[in-house]
Amino acid sequence: MLSRYARRACSMSLVKAADHCTWEEAASALDIPPVSGRAMANKVVSLLNALGTADRFDATLRDIVARVARRGSLVDYGMRRRALAGFTVIEWEEWREMCRGVGVHLAFRGGR
């Protein structure tokens, strides 16, 4: 459970650092309820301060933001999530036909 909160808080930290926004805005950008995002951020910031690692975390975060910014075209995972929100399971036979159509032949169900 803690690792899920830590991942979300790290994601919010990246958004906050990259977009110069509030915790609530960062949470909203990631489809996390703003109040929950703020609570998670408070817990993580308190923990980092208690461990004496807040400055190192901040420096590492800013380094990551700079490296990502230099990469150029980025994947918009929020847009991808929204686009696939209504996705439904494709039946095996239909999937196999779709794969054949692009030259991929599946040997057995669950195969690649």
Whether residue 62 is predicted with pLDDT greater than 60 in this model: the reply is yes
Whether residue 31 is predicted with pLDDT greater than 80 in this model: the reply is yes
What is the rounded CA–CA span in Å between residue 70 and residue 38? Answer: 29
pLDDT score, position 6: 82
Q: Is residue 51 within 8 Å of residue 57, measured between CB atoms?
A: no
Confidence of residue 110 (pLDDT cuts 50, 70, 90): low
What's the pTM?
0.60
* Cα-based angle 13, 14, 19 (whole degrees, multiple of 5): 100
pLDDT score, position 111: 53
Q: Is residue 52 within 8 Å of residue 62, measured between CB atoms?
A: no
pLDDT score, position 109: 65
Render pLDDT for 35-45 as a digit per residue (tens, 0 to 9).
Answer: 999 999 998 89
Per DSSP, 107 falls in state: S
Confidence of residue 26 (pLDDT cuts 50, 70, 90): very high
